[in-house]
Chains A and B, each alone.
Chain A
Amino acid sequence: QKQLQESGPGLVKPSETLSLTCTVSGGSISSNIHYWGWIRQSPGKGLEWIGSINHSGSTFDNPSLKSRVTISVDTSENQFSLKLTSVTAADTALYYCARSWGSNSPFDYWGQGTLVTVSS
């Protein structure tokens, strides 16, 4: 049973860096067909794709986030991570990690989500 689980601080101060990790179980993150991504959901902006990383380590991110995004993979821990720099209150959201089977594919497995609040 494939499972994804997000972890990380629930509170981040403005201008600091948001860091989240997604642990994958029930399958290898080293799969050569899957992409691993981050999606967030807020009342104001709905569902928003943040970025993804593929099996070869290539990353893709949403231009709307103005190069604040870094996504990386740790194959030894079967995890992938998100860093979002220079956060503001607008980055307050429920953050999900998810898997897709290609760059033009849907997200077929999702984590349960973790709420991150940006506040001083």
Chain B
Amino acid sequence: DIQMTQSPSSLSASVGDRVTITCRASQPIYSYLNWYQQKPGKAPKLLIYAASSLQSGVPSRFSGSESGTDFTLTISTLQPEDFATYYCQQSYSSPPTFGGGTKVEIK
């Protein structure tokens, strides 16, 4: 299975901050990388697919990029509703696997 390693596991930030979350794949997955946001008591919500494509309805402050097996989710200007846990997921090979999550907390 392809291992997905996210960092950091948690971070504290303030409204208005720029936030960056990283996900590293254990082998090449090309652009088959997706990002989800999960709030307490809710299902994960797709934010970014294919490494950098914004899902319909997702604010443009969210963006994704890739460099080799390293992928980044950036929130350009953190909003109050963005405090949540973020997960990456590879869909290159079966079984699809998820990162361990990054919890974004209020500083």
Interface residues of A (CB under 8 A from B): 46-49, 60, 62-64, 96, 98, 100, 103-108, 110-113
Instruction: Tell me whether A47 and B87 are in contact (CB under 8 A).
Output: yes
Instruction: Determine if B95 and A62 form an interchain contact, defined as CB atoms under 8 angstroms apart.
Output: yes
> How many cross-chain pairs have Cβ atoms below 8 Å apart between A and B?
51
A104 close to B32 (CB less than 8 A): yes
CB pair B98–A47 under 8 Å, yes or no, is yes
Does A46 contact B98, Cβ atoms closer than 8 Å? yes
Size bracket, chain B contacts? 20 to 34
Contact assessment for B95 and A49 in the assembled complex, using a CB-CB cutoff below 8 Å: yes
CA of A113 to CA of B44 in the docked complex: distance in angstroms? Answer: 10
Q: Are A106 and B98 in contact (CB under 8 A)?
A: no
What's the Cα separation between A46 and B1 when bound, in Å?
15
Given contacts A47-B98, A48-B98, A105-B49, contact A111 B91 (CB under 8 A): no
Report B-chain residues with C-beta under 8 Å of the C-beta of A63.
95
- 16 interchain pairs (CB within 8 A)? A46-B87, A47-B87, A47-B98, A49-B95, A49-B96, A63-B95, A64-B95, A96-B43, A98-B43, A100-B91, A106-B49, A106-B89, A107-B36, A107-B44, A110-B45, A112-B42
